Amino acid sequence: MGKIVVDGATTIAKTDENYICMTIDYWPFNECSKIPCLWDGNASVLNLNLSLPTLTKAVQAFKTLRIRVGGSLQDKLIYDIGSFKGNNNCPRFARDSNEMFQITEGCLSIERAIVTFGLNALLGRHPTIGMLWEGDWNYTNAEDLIQYTIEKNYQIDSWEFGNEMVGHNSIGANIPAAQYAKDLIKFREIIDRLYNKSQQKPLIVAPGAFFDVPWYEDFVNKTGQGVVDVFTHHIYNMGAGDDPKIIQRFVDPNYLSQESSVFQQLENIVKVHAPWSVPWVGEAGGSSRGGSPNISNTFIDGFWYLDQLAMAALYNTKVYCRQTLVGGHYGVLLPHTLAPSPDYYGALLFHQLMGPGVLKVDNNISSYLRTYAHCTKGRSGVTMLFINLSNQTEFRIEIENKMNMSLANNPAHREEYHLTPSNGLVRSSTVLLNGNLLEATEDGDLPNLMPIYSDTNSISIATWSIVFVVIPNFQAPACK
């Protein structure tokens, strides 16, 4: 028996109300002949059937779900509008070994552009040495698109500038901080001018890159105050999807904890250099290169995903965008069928139960028992998240309130949501909630996520399990 102590006196961090975010990409091709395919072209924004009941019901279950549309090809995408309208009949992406990403520029028909906020930041530039690109951004096409959305009264929450084109881990192209900052200043002028009479001005999001401390500090200082609202970074810390040793990292608490330094460093940069802004995780798929087969779409992926959702929140990360909603092995909706993966249900429970207020937790039991606490979303009390990375030890715990030291004198029905893999197989593509299989119907109707209730003093956390616990009577002044 061990004790977990939660401090409900004050929040140590805060997320956005819509913390959970999913991404949709532009990738247009099928990358293999086998099913499930690494990347199904029907999962692309260019082809995705947005009216499919399985898709719409999965999104509607969140009530409000942030969608980030973009990815590698957003910087090769021309919008069929303004001076670019009718240019070469709006060509599709095509294979070309001489082009960046071995794909030509493509065109987005404006009828589908209402869902995007990832803008092409490469237009107008030219390659020089290696991956270095120079020249000013040609903003006319993006400006025409933004103007169009305003005229149509489309509500765009955020416009993101570019994708993975800066810092020491840039992909495909690299733009110096000074040039990127210059273009963002111009972008701010465009947003302020076009939305001058609007009651709701979208956020400017940048740089959508892998975190690089010197580059981010240089970029922030060169853009200056009030230019960028949100600083995003991308995470694929579990390694390449085809790495045979990758599975070991999902149950290694020391490896999982390493990413906390990145969250902390970006939080510090924002506090010191850009206090008007906030940090987001703009894209995170765990495993890179489309995800890891039989891992990214199975129960074990939740050890990384839910742990990192909660870890990022500790450092005032406001939004966390999962790669992807649909597409690749890491899609939370499985290829072709769009059936929810175990991570989908984990994300939905996190969204429904874990509120914005983040609380301090003292856990001296084991590093294999990952423990987090938030104010319960939309009601009183505290919700805790437990992740048991061990397949050997079942933890039995008691939760104490640092303020009144015990919950035993004020019993109430505690809600428990125990997620375990089907048949005990950690690489299962299906998940049990309190022992019951979670399975959507062919029409996409989702099962009810019903808790079990308990008023005992102790909670059992089974081996290889993920558990949400809602404690409605927990006295937490920080949550009022």
Looking at the annotation, which residues are catalytic? 164, 283
User: Hey, what's the torsion of the CAs at 140, 146, 150, 153, to 10 degrees?
Assistant: 140
6: tokens are 């939660």
Give the separation between CA 266 and CA 212, rounded to whole angstroms: 9
Asked whether 141 and 120 are in contact (CB, 8 A), the reply is yes
Give the CA diameter of the chain.
74
**C-alpha closest to that of 227 among 265, 273, 277:** 277
The answer to whether the CB of 431 falls within 8 A of the CB of 469 is no
Asked whether 107 and 87 are in contact (CB, 8 A), the reply is yes
Could you tell me how far CA 330 lies from the centroid of its own chain? 12
Gap between the Cα atoms of 261 and 264, Å rounded? 5
Using CA atoms, how far apart are residues 42 and 268, in angstroms rounded to an integer?
Answer: 40
Neighbours of 106 (CB within 10 A): 17
* 119 vs 140: CA distance, rounded Å: 12
